[in-house]
Amino acid sequence: MSATDHLVIFDTTLRDGEQSPGATMTKAEKLRIAKVLEKLRVDVIEAGFAIASQGDFEAIKNIAETIKESTICSLSRALDKDIDRAAEAIQPAQRGRIHTFIATSPIHMKHKLQLGPDEVVEQAVRAVKRARNHVDDVEFSCEDAGRSELDFLCRIIEAAIDAGATTINIPDTVGYAIPEQFGETIKQLLNRIPNADKAIFSVHCHNDLGLAVANSLAAVVQGARQVECTINGLGERAGNASLEEVVMAVRTRQDLFQIDTRIDTQHIVPASRLVSTVTGFPVQPNKAIVGANAFAHESGIHQDGVLKHRETYEIMRAQDVGWHTNSLVLGKHSGRNAFRTRLLELGIQFETETELNEAFARFKALADLKHEIFDEDLQAIASDTRKTEKDGRFSLVCMQVCSETGVIPRAAVTLMMDGKELTVDAEGSGPVDATFKAIESLVDSGCNLQLYSVNNITSGTDAQGEVTVRLERGGRIVNGLGADTDIIIASAKAYIQALNLITVSGVRQHPQGADV
Ligand code: KIV
Ligand code: ZN
């Protein structure tokens, strides 16, 4: 196997992560996440699938122009047009990688590709050679390797390495593998493929059986030297292996792994928060490493133990992964400069002065209500401002809600709709229901509400509530986010944002759909 002194972390939050239904991110949001990934010292950032749409292409290019420390990668199917587009997108990068893939399992070759094994090998070789004409760093993936035949994997991988692939990725695309068996597959591949020493072997595990991290770690034990993962385990269906879990398992159990990553773990929690805010996917409280309860000790016995000697019940230190008690950053009297400086420290930069001014106005309004403003509040303000600026058919002008014991809740909502101000009121089973019904009686969107959730951004009853609304229409899914100290207003904002997103047309190709 090609030498590496560390375990390579390949983050695919911006590509596989974005394949989660509703997790679509804007170009500016992707760049913000890429900057945090760079701070984390991620080795490779898979910034997208260049041929999927003009928006995806531009997002990758933008990241390639800005990020200096991480390698920037674009996914491409094993097709000439995909590879050339990927090469164009990563062209500005200091270090660029093309990641090309083709399915290798009997079921995918027969039903999706409708190609025989010889044709698949031929196409893979051609793709790798074409990618190598553009860049020196080429990754080749055997899609659905988890259900592929070992002999065929050996054959196609040997050919791909001969053709110039420098990283070979073994994806468990459908999350079917079991740790011991998956580790054994990696071991067999490394032993049996004669030129295996010319490439780094990588794994990419999905979490359908909740085993993505375990499978990835079993592969590392057997010699895999790159793990593909995402922040918060975001990704297609049940998600990918979570970056924070893989990294902290390897770091905490150096006695077993004897290889470490280069990740600066103190940026893990901020990265997790950013991804959650941008996508509207809340982090469950009991999620390892980044969940709100991950370092909280409830029982008296545990607390007593931790107070006497931390390591009785703690295997990691909260501050090592970026947890800190909410530190007060700004207040009512903070000026525009202090506001701008703190945002820059958080990696948030607005594209226009108008956006900054609008965000500052929101900050002042919030500081009047809440007095103490934390980093998390600033992130929510930034997200809210960007989303409002970006999309436009509907915006909230004002609203009034009546919620009283024994009386049917009512909401009166005034919306700006295509430049016209319209007011309507409606009843509902509760104030949120009444608000959504009022909005719908104006918009008549035909959407299905798939998810409604509320989280507090910081602690305390004066905290901002952050609401996620997921809407579906004609198979298209979007997430809207809204933050406010009043959760009914936050709900209206989230609903309106989701409506704005769903009305923006944007057809993009899925990399794993059939088009060969
Ligand atoms: O899950 C998968 O197989 C993928 C490939 C495109 C690498 O995401
Ligand atoms: Zn995947």
pTM: 0.84
Same domain membership, residue 403 and residue 479: yes
**388 pLDDT higher than 60:** no
Same domain membership, residue 193 and residue 156: yes
Tokens of 251: 């770091």
Same domain membership, residue 122 and residue 37: yes
* Among the bound ligands, the one closest to the CA of 235: 2
Helices then strands, counting H and E runs in the chain, come out as 17, 16
Same domain membership, residue 428 and residue 362: no
**389 pLDDT higher than 80:** no
Residue with the smallest CA separation from ligand 1 atom 4 is 173
**236 pLDDT higher than 60:** yes
Same domain membership, residue 223 and residue 191: yes
**291 pLDDT higher than 70:** yes
- The pick from 204, 230, 515 for probing ligand 1's pocket by mutation, whose C-beta has the most ligand atoms within 8 angstroms, reads 204
Tokens of 129: 């050679």
What's the confidence (pLDDT) of residue 328? 58
First to last CA, the chain: 31
Q: Which amino acid is at 387?
A: K
Q: What is the pLDDT of residues 304-324, one digit of tens each?
A: 666 677 777 789 999 999 987
Residue 210 covered by a domain = yes
Task: Tell me the H-state helices in 15-141.
Answer: 27-40, 54-66, 80-90, 106-107, 117-134
What's the confidence (pLDDT) of residue 292? 83
* Among the bound ligands, the one closest to the CA of 512: 1
C-alpha–C-alpha distance, residues 112 and 96, integer Å: 29
- 293: exposed, middle or buried (C-beta count within 10 Å: 0-12, 13-18, 19+)? exposed
Residue 262 covered by a domain = yes
Q: What is the mean pLDDT of the chain?
A: 91
What's the confidence (pLDDT) of residue 516? 46
What's the confidence (pLDDT) of residue 507? 64
Please report the sign of the dihedral spanned by the C-alpha atoms of residue 102, residue 105, residue 108, residue 111.
positive
**178 pLDDT higher than 50:** yes
Q: Identify the three-state secondary structure at position 202.
A: strand
Distance 142 CA to ligand 1 centre (A): 8
What's the confidence (pLDDT) of residue 4? 81
What does residue 42 show for φ and ψ, rounded to 5 degrees? -65, 135
Among residues 351, 386, 421, the one where a domain terminates is 386
Q: Which has the higher per-residue pLDDT, 465 or 87? A: 87
Residue with the smallest CA separation from ligand 1 atom 2 is 173
The answer to whether 390 and 351 are in contact (CB under 8 A) is: no
466 contacts: CB under 8 Å, gap ≥ 6: 277, 380, 454, 455, 456, 457, 481, 482, 483, 490
Q: What is the pLDDT of residues 449-469, one digit of tens each?
A: 998 988 877 778 888 888 989
Percentage of the chain modeled with pLDDT above 70: 94
What's the confidence (pLDDT) of residue 385? 76
Residue 284 covered by a domain = no
Q: What is the pLDDT of residues 120-135, one digit of tens each?
A: 999 999 999 999 999 9
Distance 118 CA to ligand 2 centre (A): 24
Distance 274 CA to ligand 1 centre (A): 24
What's the confidence (pLDDT) of residue 281? 87
Distance 174 CA to ligand 2 centre (A): 8
Tell me which H or E stretch contains 109. Answer: none
Residue with the smallest CA separation from ligand 1 atom 8 is 16
Counted domains in the chain:
3
What's the confidence (pLDDT) of residue 514? 60
| Gyration radius (Cα) of the chain, Å | 24
* Among the bound ligands, the one closest to the CA of 105: 1
C-alpha–C-alpha distance, residues 26 and 387, integer Å: 9
**383 pLDDT higher than 80:** no
The answer to whether 290 and 320 are in contact (CB under 8 A) is: no
Same domain membership, residue 435 and residue 380: no
Please give the number of the atom of ligand 1 that sits closest to the Cα of 75: 6
Q: What is the CATH number of the domain that holds 461?
A: 3.30.160.270
Range(s) of the domain holding residue 416: 394-502
* Among the bound ligands, the one closest to the CA of 46: 1
C-alpha–C-alpha distance, residues 47 and 57, integer Å: 9
Q: What is the pLDDT of residues 488-503, one digit of tens each?
A: 999 999 999 899 888 7
Residue 319 covered by a domain = no
Q: How many CB atoms lie within 10 A of CB 466?
A: 27
Please give the number of the atom of ligand 1 that sits closest to the Cα of 141: 7
What's the confidence (pLDDT) of residue 337? 86
Beta strands 226-229 and 330-331, pairing class: unpaired
Tokens of 109: 């070759």
Please give the number of the atom of ligand 1 that sits closest to the Cα of 15: 8
Q: What is the pLDDT of residues 406-422, one digit of tens each?
A: 999 999 999 999 889 99
30-34, 164-168, 262-266, 326-330: range with lowest mean pLDDT: 326-330
Within 6 A (CB) of ligand 1 lie 16, 101, 141, 143, 171, 173, 204, 206, 511-512
Among residues 369, 386, 403, the one where a domain terminates is 386
Tell me which H or E stretch contains 515. Answer: none
C-alpha–C-alpha distance, residues 452 and 487, integer Å: 12
Q: What is the CATH number of the domain that holds 78?
A: 3.20.20.70
What's the confidence (pLDDT) of residue 330? 82
Same domain membership, residue 401 and residue 373: no
* Res. 188 pLDDT band, cuts 50 70 90: very high
Residue with the smallest CA separation from ligand 1 atom 1 is 173
Same domain membership, residue 106 and residue 212: yes
* Res. 293 pLDDT band, cuts 50 70 90: confident
